Amino acid sequence: MAKLLVVATGNPGKLREMQAYLAGSGWELTLKPEELEIEETGETFAANACLKASQTAQATGNWAIADDSGLQVDALNGAPGVYSARYGKTDAERIARLLRELGNEVNRQAQFACAVAIARPDGAIALQSEGVCRGEILHAPRGHGGFGYDPIFYVPQKQLTFAEMSPELKRSISHRGRAFTALLPQLDTVLSPES
């Protein structure tokens, strides 16, 4: 019997991505109730992930998992950072704003960072992990996969943007992939479906 793990997001794309990471873990993932709104007031990805996991767990009475991630651009002092999703109304607007702010800056080094947190049904944080993927920002979007800033985030080792990668390749090297890889070995101990 699979146990329920509520994903603290309203984004079906993020749910699918998490299901892929946790496939075979014995957990059944489900989206949080639509009416549950959690304000991301944390100043770090980890703080926001903990906030979302904890409040979702308390509201639903189930184990909950949350992640918070974003793009940190070196030349912009780590912006957009925790405000990555609020940098515009649509992905296209967010990308346009970032490219405008970077302008002709020569240093285009950046990283995607992700923090994942799992909370017990009482809201206590049981597990946390973080992952980072370094890359650089292109001058124009490339590729049609992924979401968010993926079309302008270029990974030199693969010579591809996140948006040009297969979902499997992106999962294996992305910030979220690395955060989940760090989390999975601990998952079995804390979340054995009997506990």
Write out the catalytic residue numbers.
68
Torsion sign, CA atoms 137, 142, 148, 154: negative
Q: Return d(Cα 96, Cα 139) in angstroms, integer.
A: 10
The total of other beta-carbon atoms located within 10 Å of residue 120's CB is 19
Residue numbers in the known binding site for Mg(2+) are: 39, 68
Q: Please enumerate, by residue number, every residue annotated as part of a binding site.
A: 9-14, 39, 68-69, 147-150, 170, 175-176
- Residue 178's φ and ψ, nearest 5 degrees, are -70, -35
Residues 6+ apart with CB under 8 A from 152: 95, 98, 99, 137, 138, 140, 141, 142, 161
Known binding-site positions for substrate: 9-14, 69, 147-150, 170, 175-176
Cα separation values, 27 from 21, 101, 127, Å = 11, 42, 15
Rg over alpha carbons for the chain, rounded to the nearest Å, is 17
User: Helix H segments across 61-135?
Assistant: 91-102
Do residues 164 and 142 touch, judged by C-beta distance below 8 A?
yes
